[in-house]
Chain A
């Protein structure tokens, strides 16, 4: 009886799907050649290290990436210099409480390498006048961070979006978090170094 009730309940839905298939059979998709394909990419950008309460880092970044396919790439090299601009909190601590400047660990530069996976490729309409193509990607890799105190290895995870303007030029926005690996156990001193980078990327070579 229970089975009959379930079947009776499901029957209209199944019949509806069948009727729809009979009325409008087939699926339609637009299949287009990818307008923008990356091969070897050199990007130059500027970024910030916005999270630390005691200083804000600003600086340039250069990367070189090799794209194995439209969805998978290796960011072979990535280097960023950071100029640390102290916040008012740090200035207050140093001035009013005599905290030594060396007590604050600040990033001076970092270098790393990542694997990049870009599963999303799409297009959007701009004011109904033009079509903009973009892709979104995630990255994972390792970074070596040089602070004013020592070298720290880190694992980085990031998300990014790329806006194509031509076959050779695109713009990238990368948001990455570098999680520094604690080396002196049992002292757990995890340092998060998030970065926001805006860069222009130049594409060389043919993907064929």
Chain B
């Protein structure tokens, strides 16, 4: 339990801050980085949606960039030819047209005009960076976030127009809460560029990212020079403190009370997002658990706030159940385990759940249910255990993959990969309105991004799946021991005149409480409140051996 908890603590604490992409790893054997997602827009060579069918007159205005000279129009050309042709000449007024379309919220047409302008104009043009900015923002508004971020990141890196750079950085900062390209935005922009001239929240975020990079490189002193530049009292300042604490925790030989207290205080820092506050509280709870301060740990677990009707995290419930078990609150611990059977957590990978249930049943001398609960683990994970024994490729085991994809960096990589696939599918909707050139360009951009995201995800998956497999093997081992123990207990002889142990009275409901008997229907607002009433069958006075 202890190494598992500590590993979980560090993994989840690090999950609060974006992690660096791993160095280029070889692709998984037998898993080519096939980028084409379901519903991917037509590949090069296929006619685009906006292309007229053979025999029909070409609908020139649909595909030609507005403002293009008639001789340069590529309307009616198959999309395969479009990227290879020279960009059409355009009237510089197309930029103003794009602006007016942007400010009237016609982002599809605006994006098309800005792209035509960018293709036709040299990078030294006064409005070039502005066109990139508005193209990026138009794409973000059309929910093509990665494509939008690509243009905003280009502005930040090229720095051709100092007026546009702060706006582009601000635009990028607004994208970081969703799944995003960590290498392109966090590492290559915020962490790598000298952004001393940028102030406000964006400047704070840049300093935070740069400090984070130094922390990961193991240089806390350099990191602190960046963190001290972060405005005090902002969310970036709180996140910086959290990052420093996590790093100290990783390096700490012994967990001290001060560290726990720091996590506890961060858990109540309202400037942090709810998710990060909860991570800090979980960290405090896990550290207290390690120190065997179960009461304090339970207090921290109960402080974790969930949004209304949010089912919460399975790991939170399982850890709370262990804590309650260690406190001797076995009925409530069993109630928490009932929560983990809810449909929201049915697919969660929680081998410990079966072990703890078996231990509770054993403690109350319900040996048959204990035996069954223990066997449930080996039954449920039979295929995965078999795959581990046979040394199969675990990235093909669906259950293991699902478990590995739900934690830490792998989870982030998977979410970004999924988001890219979705955006790639959405891009198809704009095939007609974007025109061949912009559509073809974005299509290639997404195909490459999906391939890279898949590669990163698979590399992280291989590591995570190994960790999950270790967890499963350890649990299976303990279950076997438990099964043996219960087998011995089942055949113990009871002494003559023995009596059942005195029943521990359950606390009655107080006037403040309301009880809702459970009939198999899970309500999200009740998930933290289940209580099991289970009589002990243990015999007073022991048994004959």
CB distance from B375 to the nearest CB of A (A): 13
Q: Report how far A75 CA is from B378 CA in the complex, Å.
A: 61
CB distance from A6 to the nearest CB of B (A): 29
User: A184 in the interface, Cβ–Cβ < 8 Å?
Assistant: no
Query: Are the CB atoms of B523 and A30 closer together than 8 Å?
Result: yes
Query: Are the CB atoms of B512 and A29 closer together than 8 Å?
Result: no
Query: Are the CB atoms of B533 and A33 closer together than 8 Å?
Result: no
CB distance from B317 to the nearest CB of A (A): 14
Quick one: which of A23-41 are within 8 Å of B by CB?
23-34, 37
Q: Which A residues are in CB contact (< 8 Å) with B535?
A: 25-26
Taken residue by residue from 346 to 363, chain B's Cβ proximity to chain A (1 for < 8 Å, 0 otherwise) reads as 000000000000000100
For the residues of B in contact with A, the DSSP-based class is mixed
Query: Are the CB atoms of B309 and A31 closer together than 8 Å?
Result: no
Q: Which B residues are in CB contact (< 8 Å) with A37?
A: 512
Query: Are the CB atoms of A28 and B518 closer together than 8 Å?
Result: yes
Interface size class of B (residues with CB under 8 A): 20 to 34
CB distance from A15 to the nearest CB of B (A): 15
Query: Are the CB atoms of A30 and B531 closer together than 8 Å?
Result: yes
Could you tell me how many residues of chain A have their Cβ less than 8 Å away from some Cβ of chain B? 22
For the residues of A in contact with B, the DSSP-based class is strand
User: B529 in the interface, Cβ–Cβ < 8 Å?
Assistant: yes
Query: Are the CB atoms of A28 and B369 closer together than 8 Å?
Result: no
- A-B CB contacts (within 8 Å), total count: 79
Q: Which B residues are in CB contact (< 8 Å) with A121?
A: 514
Q: Which A residues are in CB contact (< 8 Å) with B531?
A: 28-31
Query: Are the CB atoms of A31 and B534 closer together than 8 Å?
Result: no
User: A87 in the interface, Cβ–Cβ < 8 Å?
Assistant: no
- Given A130-B309, A131-B309, A131-B523, A29:B518 Cβ within 8 A: yes
Q: Which B residues are in CB contact (< 8 Å) with A69?
A: 511
User: A105 in the interface, Cβ–Cβ < 8 Å?
Assistant: no
User: A70 in the interface, Cβ–Cβ < 8 Å?
Assistant: yes
Nearest residue in B to A36 (C-beta to C-beta)?
B514
Query: Are the CB atoms of B514 and A34 closer together than 8 Å?
Result: yes
Q: Which A residues are in CB contact (< 8 Å) with B366?
A: 25
- Given A130-B309, A131-B523, A30:B513 Cβ within 8 A: no
Q: List 11 A-B contacts (CB under 8 A).
A: A22-B369, A23-B372, A25-B366, A27-B518, A27-B534, A28-B338, A28-B532, A29-B515, A29-B517, A29-B530, A32-B516
The 8 closest A-B pairs by CB, nearest first: A26-B534, A30-B526, A28-B518, A30-B516, A27-B533, A30-B529, A32-B529, A26-B532
Known: A26-B533, A28-B338, A31-B514. 4 other contacts (CB 8 A): A25-B534, A26-B532, A27-B533, A27-B534
